[in-house]
């Protein structure tokens, strides 16, 4: 893989002596226009890397908050085509912030993997996290993505032992996403001591940055996790902030975008307080 927006951004945050803040939002939640406004507001609020969830009707790894956000987006008419349209619209004003699409293989398979990858590359997508494609299926999507210069980011979990880890890391690029808890998103808080040991173990196998997610909700948690990790991923808390700003019919209000900006600003302050040794 050649240099990408993702590798450049992690190099920049490492040189600044801090972890990257990786923020997750579901594309199209609660509607296309509001979701695009949130997307455009994230870098200014302090997000270093943006993960966009591709709404899917059967999100097996997601907790209640992200499941509900996907259903809101689908109800509002979000599609894979509209998700890539959001990326194109974002790229009209931001050519530096990395965007990673996260989700499941079914919608991509329905589109056609090669056609999807061409469209994603043209839209300005930098990376993919596809949670239900194991390394044994790299020919399906991972290798074609890498051939187009799209980073394929793999998940490692607390149950990924040293025998399995090399397979997980093969063909992984951009960064490694360490899932800090067993289970679905947003249902428990990570143990910082265990996370630190896990990050150290993964780094014995790879020179890639390691970002930690699943369960990080507060600036304090982000700061603590960020003392060991190269990146801190926050998703469910941001999605919950969106939900908390909606009206009784789950429609956006004037508080929706500011609620996200405020939380991301707090999280950004947390990761910037997690000083690390400069690269």
Query: What is the set of active-site residues?
Result: 51, 62
- Whole-number Å distance between alpha carbons of 47 and 233: 10
User: Do the Cβ atoms of 240 and 216 come closer than 8 Å?
Assistant: no
| C-alpha pair distances (Å), 192 with each of 71, 110, 181, 228 | 32, 39, 11, 9
């Amino acid at each position: 893989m050649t240099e990408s927006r993702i590798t450049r951004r992690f190099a920049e945050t490492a040189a600044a002596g801090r972890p990257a803040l990786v923020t997750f939002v579901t594309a199209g939640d609660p509607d296309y226009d509001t979701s695009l406004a949130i997307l455009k507001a994230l870098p200014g609020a302090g997000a270093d890397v943006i993960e966009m969830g591709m709404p899917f009707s059967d999100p097996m790894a997601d907790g209640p908050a992200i499941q509900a956000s996907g259903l809101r987006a689908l109800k509002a008419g979000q599609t894979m085509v509209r998700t890539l349209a959001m990326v194109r619209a974002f790229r009209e004003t931001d050519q530096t912030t990395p965007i990673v699409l996260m989700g499941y293989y079914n919608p991509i398979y329905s589109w056609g993997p090669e056609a999807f990858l061409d469209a994603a590359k043209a839209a300005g997508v930098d990376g993919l996290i596809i949670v239900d494609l194991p390394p044994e299926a790299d020919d399906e999507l991972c290798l074609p993505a890498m051939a187009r210069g799209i980073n394929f980011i793999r998940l490692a979990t607390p149950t990924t032992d040293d025998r399995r880890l090399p397979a997980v890391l093969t063909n992984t690029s951009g960064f490694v996403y360490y899932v800090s808890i067993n289970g679905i998103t947003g249902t428990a808080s990570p143990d910082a001591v265990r996370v630190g040991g896990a990050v150290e173990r993964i780094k014995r196998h790879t020179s890639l940055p390691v970002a930690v997610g699943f369960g990080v909700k507060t600036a304090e948690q982000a700061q603590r996790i960020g003392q060991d990790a190269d990146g801190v991923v926050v998703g469910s808390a941001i999605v919950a902030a969106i939900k908390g700003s909606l009206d009784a019919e789950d429609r956006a209000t004037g508080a929706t975008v500011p609620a996200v900006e405020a939380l991301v600003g707090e999280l950004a302050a947390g990761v910037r307080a997690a000083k690390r040794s400069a690269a």
